[in-house]
Structure 1
């Protein structure tokens, strides 16, 4: 697993202190559709804290974290897109 992905996973799991709140079904469906392009992380983020996933995605989009594939993926994502993806991953147990 690439070092960045391992770091993101470790940070997300280590900092997840509470169970995520349930997202509306429509947002979860949208998140699932957006997450289809995230096959590199097919199961590693299942059940993770959505706030940590959103933070990582924003960092890639803003360029404060570097990974060409992730920067390309997040470049056109809105904050709402990122939240929907994070909520979908969090809902997967």
Structure 2
């Protein structure tokens, strides 16, 4: 299943926290023209470098399929960012 919600939590230097839920489907619909260009660019890059385009698309699909449940945490001093994919 593709991810449906990405939650970003950000702790600022002054200690205040910011929580931002990002729904994937509306963002994907808005950015779909750029997604088409990115896929075409990726296919051209595959043909130039000799990589099988079908295998590359299959690998990208498997990566997206595995994203739900992933958590990325970055902390630097008093600033912290947490991204969780559901």
Per the normalisation by structure 2, the TM-score is: 0.24
More helix by percentage? 1
Higher-Rg member (1/2): 2
More strand by percentage? 2
